[in-house]
C-alpha cells in the first residue's frame, strides 16, 4: 500500500498562514552545529522529514539531540565520534554532504557515501571537492564513498566557477578551523548562507562579507555553543503566496522577510495579482481581472529562485497567452510539466525552457510528485482543478513543507491522505 494525498479542487482559500523556518537553512545549520565543542540550541526548526533524517545521522555520530518542543532542537556534540557515514539516511538526503565540510573542518577527516535527494538533472559536487583540495585535503573515492583527509587545513583563495550555494556553505564550514585566512570569490549570496554564517559567528567563527560575492573566513581554534533562530522559509512563503494568487479570496501570509521574495513579488504583480506587502507579511486579494502572460528566467539570488519556478508554472496556466520559463540552474527541472499536462495544462518543454499556453482549465487526475517543488506545484494545481486530484510519491513533499495538511485545512482547502494499492 502507498499513502497518497487527495485534494478536492475549487475551494477558495481564506485566512492567515504562518511560514515555518527555512528548510534550506536548516539542513545546513544542523550539520554546522557539530563544528562546535559545546551545545547549540536552534529555534524555528521546521517539522519536515529532512530534519528527521538529519537527527538520525547526528545520533549515528554520537551527537545528543533533544527536541525541546515542536520547533526547538538542542544539539550537543560534546561526545561525538567521527565514524564513516554510510547508512541509508545519507542516501535519502542530499544535504548530508554538508557533513563533509563540517567533519573535515573539525577532525581533518570525513568518510561519507554519495548523498541522495531529489533528481533534478546533473548536480555534481566537484566544486565542493575542489574547495576542500585547495584547503589542503586529499580526496579519494572508494566503493561509493568519498574519503577526505587533511593533516592541516590552510586558508587560501578559492574561486567558484559557479555561484553554488552548497559549495559556498561546505567550503565555509571546512574553513572555520583552517589556519590563516580563506577567501571565497564568486560565493553564493542566498539568505540561507547568511543565516549559517551568522550561527557560526555566534559560535566564535570569524566570517565576513555575508551577502556579498566575497566571503572572508579567518580560522579559529575553538567554537563554542550558542542559541540561534532560523530565518523564515522564503520558498515556502513563495509557495503560499502563489497558492493565494491562484485560489484565495483574502489570504495573509505571515512570518516572512519580504526582501527575500522581491523577484517573485515583482513577477506576481506583473501578471496582475492584487497584493499588499508589509514589513513581515504579504496580503493577497482576489481580483476579477484576467492574468497576463510573462517570461521568467531563473537566476541565483537575488534573481528568480529555481525552487519557485515549478509552483509558479502552475499559476501561468491561468494567464492569457504564452508564458515562457527558462531554467538556468537545473536545466532538467521540468518533470512537473508532464504531470500538469495530465491535468489539462498545455505546456511544451524544449529544454531549457517551458512554454505555457494559457488559459487552460485544469481537472483532477492521478499525478506523481517527481521531486519536492514539483509536489508543491501539483498541490497548487489540485487546489485549482475541477474534481479530485490524487498525488503519489508524497514523501518528496513531506521533505520540505511543515504541516502542509494542517495549514491548508485552516485556509479552507479540502485535502486528505489515503492508502491505495501500489
| Cell, residue 312 | 509558479
The per-residue pLDDT for 249 is: 96
Model confidence over 162-208: pLDDT tens digits? 999 999 999 999 999 999 999 999 999 999 999 999 999 999 999 99
Model confidence over 336-358: pLDDT tens digits? 999 999 999 999 999 999 999 98
Model confidence over 267-289: pLDDT tens digits? 999 999 999 999 999 999 998 89
| d(C-alpha 244, C-alpha 283), whole Å | 9
User: Is 94 annotated in some ligand binding site?
Assistant: yes
The per-residue pLDDT for 185 is: 98
Q: Count CB neighbours of 124 within 10 A.
A: 10
Q: How does residue 101 score in pLDDT terms, banded at 50, 70 and 90?
A: very high
| d(C-alpha 354, C-alpha 347), whole Å | 7
| d(C-alpha 417, C-alpha 398), whole Å | 12
As a whole number, the mean pLDDT across the chain is: 95
| d(C-alpha 14, C-alpha 252), whole Å | 8
Model confidence over 242-270: pLDDT tens digits? 999 999 999 999 999 999 999 999 999 99
Q: Is the pLDDT of residue 74 over 80?
A: yes
pLDDT average, residue stretch 55-70: 95
The per-residue pLDDT for 122 is: 44
Going along the chain from its start, the domains and CATH numbers come out as: 2-20+232-420 (3.65.10.10), 23-229 (3.65.10.10)
| d(C-alpha 19, C-alpha 260), whole Å | 13
User: Is 124 annotated in some ligand binding site?
Assistant: yes
User: Is 123 annotated in some ligand binding site?
Assistant: yes
pTM of the model: 0.95
| d(C-alpha 200, C-alpha 124), whole Å | 26
Q: Catalytic residue positions?
A: 118
User: Is 291 annotated in some ligand binding site?
Assistant: no
The per-residue pLDDT for 191 is: 98
Decide if 132 contacts 148 (C-beta within 8 A).
yes
Sign of CA dihedral 209, 104, 52, 226: negative
Amino acid at each position: 500500500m502507498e499513502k497518497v494525498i487527495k485534494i478536492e479542487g475549487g475551494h477558495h482559500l481564506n485566512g492567515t498562514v504562518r511560514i515555518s523556518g527555512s528548510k534550506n537553512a536548516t539542513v545546513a545549520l544542523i550539520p554546522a552545529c557539530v563544528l562546535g565543542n559545546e551545545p547549540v540550541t536552534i529555534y524555528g526548526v521546521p517539522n519536515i522529514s529532512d530534519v528527521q533524517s538529519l537527527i538520525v545521522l547526528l545520533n549515528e555520530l554520537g551527537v545528543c539531540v533533544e527536541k525541546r518542543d515542536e520547533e526547538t532542537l538542542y544539539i550537543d556534540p560534546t561526545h561525538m565520534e567521527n565514524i564513516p557515514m554510510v547508512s541509508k539516511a545519507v542516501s535519502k538526503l542530499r544535504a548530508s554532504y554538508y557533513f563533509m565540510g563540517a567533519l573535515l573542518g573539525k577532525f581533518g577527516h570525513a568518510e561519507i557515501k554519495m548523498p541522495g535527494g531529489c533528481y533534478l538533472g546533473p548536480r555534481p559536487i566537484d566544486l565542493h571537492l575542489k574547495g576542500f583540495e585547495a584547503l589542503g585535503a586529499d580526496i579519494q573515492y572508494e566503493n561509493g564513498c568519498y574519503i577526505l583527509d587533511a593533516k592541516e587545513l590552510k586558508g587560501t583563495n578559492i574561486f567558484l566557477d559557479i555561484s553554488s550555494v552548497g559549495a559556498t556553505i561546505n567550503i565555509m564550514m571546512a574553513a572555520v578551523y583552517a589556519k590563516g585566512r580563506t577567501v571565497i570569490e564568486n560565493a553564493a549570496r542566498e539568505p540561507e548562507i547568511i543565516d549559517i554564517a551568522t550561527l557560526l559567528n555566534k559560535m566564535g567563527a570569524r566570517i565576513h562579507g555575508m551577502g556579498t560575492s566575497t566571503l572572508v573566513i579567518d580560522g579559529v581554534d575553538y567554537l563554542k555553543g550558542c542559541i540561534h533562530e532560523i530565518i523564515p522559509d522564503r520558498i515556502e512563503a513563495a509557495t503560499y503566496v502563489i497558492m493565494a494568487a491562484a485560489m484565495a479570496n483574502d489570504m495573509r501570509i505571515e512570518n516572512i522577510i519580504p526582501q527575500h521574495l522581491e523577484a517573485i513579488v515583482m513577477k506576481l504583480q506583473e501578471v496582475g495579482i492584487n497584493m499588499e506587502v508589509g514589513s513581515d507579511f504579504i496580503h493577497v486579494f482576489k481580483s476579477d481581472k484576467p492574468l497576463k502572460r510573462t517570461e521568467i528566467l531563473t537566476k541565483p539570488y537575488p534573481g528568480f529562485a529555481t525552487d519557485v519556478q515549478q509552483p509558479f508554472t502552475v499559476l501561468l496556466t491561468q494567464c492569457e497567452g504564452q508564458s515562457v520559463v527558462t531554467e538556468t540552474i537545473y536545466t532538467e527541472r521540468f518533470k512537473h510539466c508532464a504531470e500538469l499536462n495530465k491535468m489539462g495544462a498545455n505546456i511544451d518543454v524544449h529544454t531549457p525552457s517551458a512554454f505555457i499556453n494559457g488559459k487552460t482549465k485544469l481537472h483532477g487526475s492521478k499525478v506523481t510528485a517527481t521531486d519536492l517543488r514539483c509536489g508543491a506545484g501539483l498541490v497548487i494545481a489540485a487546489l485549482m482543478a475541477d474534481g479530485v486530484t490524487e498525488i503519489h510519491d508524497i514523501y518528496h513533499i513531506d521533505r520540505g513543507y511543515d504541516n502542509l495538511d494542517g495549514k491548508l485545512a485552516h485556509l479552507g482547502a479540502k485535502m486528505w491522505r489515503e492508502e491505495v494499492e501500489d
